[in-house]
């Protein structure tokens, strides 16, 4: 299995000994040793992953890197966060996924109104199995714990990923900016209940929901 390690907070180094990884297309900045590259399409495995991406208009082009040596990955100086999966499933915005162990299964999951409110489709990317995944965030990500007694409400523009036994619902008609007497905020918020982790970034991605 490939070894993921951070060199600083914005560069991912992956050591491979005949292993392979899947990474965001164009994110490799250097490599040593002997490597082979193959472009993959769709972002999800199988026909369903490719079809749902085309329907929603999401473009998630990934490449497979295999060989002996080390590859370095980065994207627009984004902060990188490593997540260890032990048979569980990670839900992540496709734009925030940098690299995964090739043994991890990727696919798509229906997310309802949250995808529509963000203007980036009705599906989000799923990653599951055993291995590591590298997530990107605009600024250092914060991992927030959700428990039965403490549900969590998140601005959709700040949401990066979540994992665990969580149920998500969507609240409309009120925004964080509404509370502050300001307009133009997201028309939806995401509420998480259950037991798990939610990754949020300190900068909001652009959404189209402010006018909804």
pLDDT of residue 12 exceeding 60, the answer is: yes
Identify the band that residue 74 occupies on the pLDDT scale cut at 50, 70 and 90. Answer: very high
CA distance 56 to 24: 19
**123 closest CA partner among 43, 212, 23:** 43
At 129, list the tokens: 């199995």
Identify the band that residue 144 occupies on the pLDDT scale cut at 50, 70 and 90. Answer: very high
141 or 59: whose pLDDT is higher?
141
For position 151, what pLDDT does the model report? 95
CA distance 122 to 133: 22
Q: For the chain, what is the mean pLDDT? A: 82
pTM recorded for the entire structure? 0.81
CA distance 185 to 173: 10
At 200, list the tokens: 């949020």
Q: Which residues of 182-199 are buried (b: 16+ CB within 10 A; e: fewer)?
A: eeebbbbbbebbeebbbb
Structural contact between residues 194 and 165, judged by C-beta atoms closer than 8 angstroms? yes
Question: How many Cβ atoms are within 10 Å of 29's Cβ, its own excluded?
Answer: 12
**60 closest CA partner among 86, 78, 84, 39:** 39
Identify the band that residue 80 occupies on the pLDDT scale cut at 50, 70 and 90. Answer: very high
CA distance 85 to 41: 23
Identify the band that residue 172 occupies on the pLDDT scale cut at 50, 70 and 90. Answer: confident
Q: Give φ, ψ of 84 to 5 degrees.
A: -95, 120
Q: Which residues of 84-105 are buried (b: 16+ CB within 10 A; e: fewer)?
A: ebeeebbbbbbbbbbbbbbebe
pLDDT of residue 184 exceeding 70, the answer is: no
For position 175, what pLDDT does the model report? 56
Q: What is the 3-state secondary structure (H, E, C) of 44-74?
A: CCHHHHHHHHHHHCCCCCEEEEEEEEEEEEC
Question: What's the pLDDT tens digit per position in 28-39?
Answer: 999 999 999 998
Question: What's the pLDDT tens digit per position in 38-61?
Answer: 988 654 454 444 444 444 444 567
């Amino acid at each position: 299995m490939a070894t993921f390690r951070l060199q600083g907070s914005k560069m991912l180094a992956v050591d491979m000994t005949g292993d392979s990884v899947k990474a965001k297309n164009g994110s490799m900045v250097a490599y040593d040793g002997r490597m082979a590259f193959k472009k993959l399409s769709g972002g999800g495995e199988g026909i369903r992953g490719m079809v749902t991406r085309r329907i929603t208009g999401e473009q998630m082009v990934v490449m497979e890197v295999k060989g002996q040596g080390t590859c370095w990955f980065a994207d627009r100086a984004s902060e990188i966060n490593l997540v260890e999966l032990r048979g569980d499933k990670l839900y992540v915005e496709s734009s925030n996924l940098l690299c995964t162990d090739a043994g991890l299964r990727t696919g798509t999951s229906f997310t309802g109104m949250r995808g529509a409110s963000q203007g980036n489709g009705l599906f989000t990317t799923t990653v599951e199995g055993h291995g590591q995944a590298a997530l990107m965030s605009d600024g250092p990500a914060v991992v927030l714990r959700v428990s039965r007694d403490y549900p969590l409400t998140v601005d959709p523009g700040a949401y990066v990923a979540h994992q665990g036994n969580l149920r998500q619902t969507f609240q409309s008609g009120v925004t964080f900016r509404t509370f502050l007497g300001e307009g133009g905020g997201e028309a939806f918020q995401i509420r998480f209940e259950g037991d798990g982790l939610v990754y949020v970034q300190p900068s909001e991605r652009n959404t189209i929901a402010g006018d909804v």
